[in-house]
């Protein structure tokens, strides 16, 4: 351009567009040689930028949820902002502000979600998962908490504490769930002796009381393969969430009755007010009640 070459020559030599050459010429007339300095590509305004009050509410919501031992991921925060404050923001925006506030800790050893093979029952009551976990009371007494969880909706059917969980405990808690929610098509558990004796050879014809009851009711029993705990991953992840919530409570319960009160409070919170990303941000209760329930395979009445 300074060599008095034509625009066409510059375009051919430098392989740039004609409009770009004219834009540079216009800049040079206004700014001189500064027109050729590199410029930031940052937009003049940020349409996705939110106000300080909303940014503060995002962090406050995150801290409130985490302080109560509840899930505080971006999708959950978005749900609470929309439900309780009529504010709609994207999970990416929430993550950006939560990270800027120093609330995000990287987990470099964590596997990416794409590496997991997910499965899910198509209907409520198609499959119930169960497992139990240990919990220590304030006086040091060890207890065991057994959970029944609907696989499709992650709806917590039952969470109760015992000392300890035995075979009759499984039968009693399962029976109460059936009385309230109907029969499931199948069950999925690990290979604990309270669920199955298939590796021990004991019980009634190789079956324990729970297994025999499922046969009588026409319910398919499924068990995880040995050394493959991720098969029952939903209920085990649920137990982690439960324990996080229990640890966040102001005081540990003193006895089973106090613990059961806490467990029912958590069950209500989890089912009714905790959206789940895999449920398209619905609560487990909404997902459980949104579709027809699966029916078990019919068999002759054993009675």
- At residue 70, does pLDDT exceed 80? no
- At residue 54, does pLDDT exceed 70? yes
Q: What is the mean pLDDT of residues 133-155?
A: 95
Q: What is the mean pLDDT of residues 183-201?
A: 87
Q: What is the mean pLDDT of residues 82-108?
A: 80
Q: What is the mean pLDDT of residues 78-103?
A: 83
Entry pTM: 0.67
Q: How confident is the model at residue 229 (pLDDT cuts 50, 70, 90)?
A: low
Q: How confident is the model at residue 203 (pLDDT cuts 50, 70, 90)?
A: very low
- In the chain, % of residues over pLDDT 70: 81
Q: How confident is the model at residue 293 (pLDDT cuts 50, 70, 90)?
A: low
The strand order across the sheet containing 142-150 reads 156-162, 142-150, 128-136, 186-189, 220-223
Pairing assessment for the beta strands 128-136 and 186-189 based on DSSP bridges: parallel
| Domain definitions of the chain by residue range | 7-36, 52-105, 128-289
**Rounded Cα distance, 162 and 139, in Å:** 15
Q: How confident is the model at residue 9 (pLDDT cuts 50, 70, 90)?
A: confident
The per-residue pLDDT of the chain, averaged, comes to 82
pLDDT at site 117: 45
Residues 235-270 have pLDDT tens digits of 888 999 999 999 999 999 999 999 999 999 999 999
Q: Return phi, psi of residue 69, to 5°.
A: 75, 20
The third-level CATH classification (topology) of the domain covering 128-289 is Nucleotidyltransferase; domain 5 (3.30.420)
pLDDT at site 120: 67
Q: What is the mean pLDDT of residues 189-205?
A: 76
Residues 151-178 have pLDDT tens digits of 999 999 999 999 999 999 999 999 999 9
Q: Return phi, psi of residue 235, to 5°.
A: -70, -30
Top-confidence residue, 214 or 114: 214
pLDDT at site 175: 97
CA distance between the termini of the chain: 99
pLDDT at site 1: 45
pLDDT at site 238: 92
Q: Which residues contact 188 (CB under 8 A, 6 or more apart)?
A: 127, 128, 129, 130, 151, 222, 223, 224, 231, 232
Q: Which residues contact 195 (CB under 8 A, 6 or more apart)?
A: 130, 170, 189, 208, 210, 211, 223
């Amino acid at each position: 351009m300074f060599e008095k070459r034509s625009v066409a020559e510059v375009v051919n030599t430098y392989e740039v567009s004609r409009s770009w050459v004219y834009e540079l010429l216009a800049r040079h007339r206004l700014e001189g040689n500064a027109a050729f300095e590199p410029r930031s590509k940052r937009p003049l305004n940020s349409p996705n930028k939110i106000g300080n009050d909303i940014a503060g509410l995002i962090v406050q919501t995150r801290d409130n949820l985490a302080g109560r031992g509840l899930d505080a991921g971006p999708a959950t925060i978005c749900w609470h902002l929309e439900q309780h404050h009529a504010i709609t923001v994207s999970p990416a925006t929430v993550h950006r502000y939560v990270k800027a506030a120093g609330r995000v800790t990287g987990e470099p050893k964590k596997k990416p979600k794409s590496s997991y093979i997910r499965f899910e029952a198509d209907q409520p009551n198609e499959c119930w998962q169960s497992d139990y976990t240990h919990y220590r009371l304030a006086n040091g007494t060890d207890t065991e908490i057994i959970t029944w969880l609907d696989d499709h909706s992650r709806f917590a059917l039952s969470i109760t504490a015992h000392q300890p969980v035995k075979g009759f405990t499984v039968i009693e808690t399962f029976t109460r769930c059936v009385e309230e929610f109907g029969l499931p098509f199948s069950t999925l558990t690990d290979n604990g002796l309270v669920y199955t004796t298939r590796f021990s050879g004991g019980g009634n014809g190789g079956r324990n009381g729970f297994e025999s009851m499922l046969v009588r009711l026409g319910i398919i029993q499924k068990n995880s393969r040995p050394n493959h705990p991720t098969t029952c991953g939903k209920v085990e992840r649920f137990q982690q969430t439960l324990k996080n919530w229990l640890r966040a409570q102001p005081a540990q319960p003193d006895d089973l009755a106090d613990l059961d009160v806490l467990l029912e409070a958590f069950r209500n919170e989890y089912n009714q007010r905790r959206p789940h990303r895999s449920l398209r941000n619905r609560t487990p209760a909404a997902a459980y009640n949104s579709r027809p329930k699966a029916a078990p395979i019919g068999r002759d009445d054993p009675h």
